[in-house]
Structure 1
Amino acid sequence: MIASKTRLQENTVHAAITPGLSPKGGFDLGPLNRAIIGAASVAMSAICLFALTRGIMGAAPDHYGWRNWSVMIHVATVIPAVPLGGYLLLTRKGTKLHKMLGKVWLGLMVVTAIAIVFIRGGTDFSWIHIFVPMTLLGSYKAISTARARDIQAHKKHIVGMYMGALMIPGIFSFMPGRFMWALLFG
């Protein structure tokens, strides 16, 4: 009896965190948010890939970012986080694959945030460094809410991190004078 009750509880938890199996309390983003996240993910991924290809092929001017390890670590971890995060937000939740890739994504985000602490733009810190504690705290909250099965809070933290700590700074990374600007437009 206890074994079947535990199995029933597991199925109930699985249904609660898997879209399509439970209409309320799930991770449904809604069609507008899905479209925004999908478009942002595809556009940012394509622009970053194009910029990096230009840089690797020698079509972009030399930039100090190529010689700065902090910049290289930051770029190497943030670029794959863009499409991976979009994929995770738009696909089925609660699966083993989702959990594994979610851990990879959070790892990329944490390394990205730590790497930016060592990137200097002529001063000790700039406004972009505000995203470091936001990302680290968001990562902790995303993990703790997922473990507590608080899916609505998990959704809030993940979507907030994806749009607020990844996409918004990503847009600003293409400002004139910055590394990605030089790769894309230089």
Structure 2
Amino acid sequence: MLDAALIKECADPSLKPAIVEQFVQAAGSDYPLAVTVKSGGRLILVPRPTTPEEALEIVRENIGGSVVRVGLTQIPAGIGLKDASELKTDLVDPCANLRMGTAMFAKILRIVARWYGSPTSEEVFPQLFDDAVHAWRTGTFEGESVFQAEDPGGGVVQTVAPTAGETESDADIVPKNSTEESDEPNSAGIRIDLSRIGGK
């Protein structure tokens, strides 16, 4: 779980703190020095770094022919750099990584929102968020490279999925009887949302 003070101080201000937390939980790492290396779609095992210098060394060794993700937000290393020697240890600094990663994710959210027609309904946000996380992981959205893409600007209506600690009124989207057991097999409500299957 991310520290609230770290989010307040370092995260992109266009994202709500709860959205920042959801983003890092969905696509990031809880270890600030985390380095993930993928080549040809396969995960390459690398030693777990214990210092920023070690993390940077692993990045430099692998950045040539692989996709290297780093830090809390698992931001792709080397975006916009011409040479691996330009990489700096702030890539794995929690605050700097959160700042860069959330700014990039906010841009991806705006790209996805524009594709959706810039919706103003809060109900669309969970789908939009999922698509943005998918774009973050793959690096593309609708055939466009999201990390190099132009920022369309504008704002995105953000909502947070209700969590266990929220009151019933916060989570009134969930039907009241959805958790009740039923003896009748044909009268039970839907328990798994299959609406996204076959969508993409």
- The question of a shared fold, defined as TM-score above 0.5 by the shorter chain, is answered with no
TM-score (norm 1): 0.27
Q: Larger % of helix: which? A: 1
Q: Larger % of strand: which? A: 2
TM-score (norm 2): 0.26
